[in-house]
Amino acid sequence: MTALIALVRKDLILYINDKRALMLHLLMPVILAAFFGSLFGGGSEAKTSKIEVGLVQLDQSDSGKKIAAGLKADSALTIIELSDAEAQAKVRAGKLSVAVVIPAGFGDAAAGALFSGRNKPELPVYYDPSQSTMLAMVKGLLTQQVMQVTSAAAMGPKGNLTTEKQLAELRAEAAGDPSKAQLSEFLVSLKKFQDQRAADDADKEATAKAEGKPAPADAPVGMTMPYTTQDQALSSGPKYNGYAHSFAGMGVQFILFMGIDMGVGILLARRTGVWNRLLAAPVSLATVLGGRAVSGAIIAMGLMCAMFVCAMLIFKVQISSVPGFFAMAASFSLMTAAFGLLIAAFGKTPEAARGIAIFATLIMVMLGGAWVPSFVFPAWVQQATLVVPTRWAVDGFDAVTWRGLGLDGVLRPIAVQLAFAVVFGGIACWKFLRDQK
């Protein structure tokens, strides 16, 4: 026991004395987690960022102005009015994702095409091909505004002239087409509705004039969205915090890097003769390996805790289950230590082992969802990555932070980490013993 404690103590002193390692394993993940966290929505109080959209307003009609006003009022958009040339230049330069042109006469033409389906006006939309997802979002919001304004124009009292014109065209075509005859009947009813609205508005205007009051505004008519959404972010505990996932991901990545350093350290010790000197003492290979594994696990645990203390203090990340977090961190730390032993067991030289191990680690953390959350992966990738221990590690830390689960919610990730620790450690010990013979 004295020997084991001495070996562990030695490794801890060496690690703390190594400022470069501390910098790499502690400061770098905090900086990168802060960066990625801000990209993925930041803290729970952060507002959703708006999309900047260029607007070329060439339609000075009532409908055109209403469409522009509706877009400006949308909380998801920041509208920047531009000339056509400016809009094209900004999109080409990548300074704007999307720009919309409302051509002259667009509003009236759209209202005219609402029921007839003919002579649909074109609405030019310029977009940056690298930001095609923005195009879909802006088109959705634009459709909402255009439909509201054009349907109001078509169905309101001032739309009766358009309706009359459409009726005249339809009557000429309706003779041999029953569907056009039905549309004609619908437009006759609409015309009556518009005439009645016009008469009501004229009465209200006359009454107001007699009383010396200003004319009342037109009551809104036309089609509106038939629903409103009630948005609720759901998790079992604290509100979603983008930093929580980023700290989990970066923590897993950089602690695995520490595991690589640990394995490479053993290879260096074997090269320099320190390893043989340790084994010349009356201690078993298991004690020497165990000492390295225990010290590696303690360092990994300390790093993960330090990172999450930063996350809690600076980025308001909440831990929903302290026992769950510690159990998760301990199991991941053991897996990391076993991973380090595996590198040492199979590495031929420190240089070659470091290169291969860094490559393998980067693949593991990428598939594990450490860089971007695994839920953005295609379904088959989400299934396939369940064989990677990092996937379970990141999911486990997510579970006890922003998902708000307790110890029972991380039992499977913990079991998986321990299983990988046993497998990695077992294979490493077998190889060490084989080499010793």
Partner 1 sequence: MASVLLSVNQVSKSYGARKAVDGVSFQVQQGQTVGLIGPNGAGKSTTVSMICGLLRSDSGSIVMDGETIGQGPSEAKRKIGFVPQDLALYEDLSSLENLKLFGALYGLKGALLKQRCEQALALVNLADRAQDKPATFSGGMKRRLNIAAALLHDPQLLILDEPTVGVDPQSRNAIFDTLETLKTQGRSLIYTSHYMEEVERLADHIVIIDHGKVLADETPAALYRRLPAQAALRAELAAAPSAALLSGVQALPGVTGVQGEGNALDIGLADAAHAPAVLAWLAQQGTPLLHFATAKTSLENIFLNLTGRSLRD
Where on the chain is the footprint of partner 1 (CB under 8 A)?
Answer: 2-3, 5-7, 9-10, 13-14, 17-18, 272-274, 276-285, 287, 436-437
List, in sequence order, the alpha helices (H) in 368-410. Answer: 379-384, 389-399
**Residue closer to partner 1 (CB basis): 7 or 410:** 7
Closest approach of Cβ 392 to partner 1, in Å? 35
Nearest Cα to 376, choosing from 51, 50, 44, 39?
Answer: 39
Quote the tokens at residue 301. Answer: 């645990």
**Residue closer to partner 1 (CB basis): 21 or 428:** 21
CB 403 within 8 A of CB 235: yes
Closest approach of Cβ 276 to partner 1, in Å? 5
Q: Which residues contact 397 (CB under 8 A, 6 or more apart)?
A: 244, 247, 248, 251, 252, 325, 328, 332
Closest approach of Cβ 301 to partner 1, in Å? 22
Q: How far apart are the first and last CA of the chain?
A: 25
Closest approach of Cβ 12 to partner 1, in Å? 11
Nearest Cα to 340, choosing from 414, 249, 424, 270?
Answer: 424
Which strands make up the sheet holding 51-57, listed edge to edge?
Answer: 77-81, 51-57, 98-102, 125-127
Closest approach of Cβ 352 to partner 1, in Å? 21
> Where does residue 109 fall: left (phi above 0), alpha (psi -120 to 50 degrees), or beta otherwise?
alpha
**Residue closer to partner 1 (CB basis): 12 or 80:** 12
Nearest Cα to 110, choosing from 140, 152, 72, 82?
Answer: 152
**Residue closer to partner 1 (CB basis): 266 or 388:** 266
Establish how many alpha carbons lie within 13 A of residue 199's alpha carbon, considering only the half-sphere containing its beta carbon.
Answer: 6
Closest approach of Cβ 20 to partner 1, in Å? 11
Closest approach of Cβ 269 to partner 1, in Å? 9
Helix (H, G, I), strand (E, B) or coil at 373: coil
Secondary structure letter of residue 26 according to DSSP: I
**Residue closer to partner 1 (CB basis): 4 or 427:** 4
CA distances to 162, 261, 371 from 24, rounded to whole Å, are 70, 11, 17
**Residue closer to partner 1 (CB basis): 30 or 269:** 269
**Distance between CA atoms of residues 391 and 369, nearest Å:** 6
**Residue closer to partner 1 (CB basis): 216 or 273:** 273
**Residue closer to partner 1 (CB basis): 33 or 289:** 289
* Paired sense of beta strands 125-127 and 98-102, if any: antiparallel
Closest approach of Cβ 258 to partner 1, in Å? 17
Give CA angle at 48 (44, 50), nearest 5°. Answer: 165
Closest approach of Cβ 23 to partner 1, in Å? 15
Closest approach of Cβ 275 to partner 1, in Å? 9
**Distance between CA atoms of residues 409 and 304, nearest Å:** 19
What's the per-residue H, E or C state across 137-177? HHHHHHHHHHHHHHHHHHHCHHHHHHHHHHHHHHHHHHHHC
Closest approach of Cβ 270 to partner 1, in Å? 11
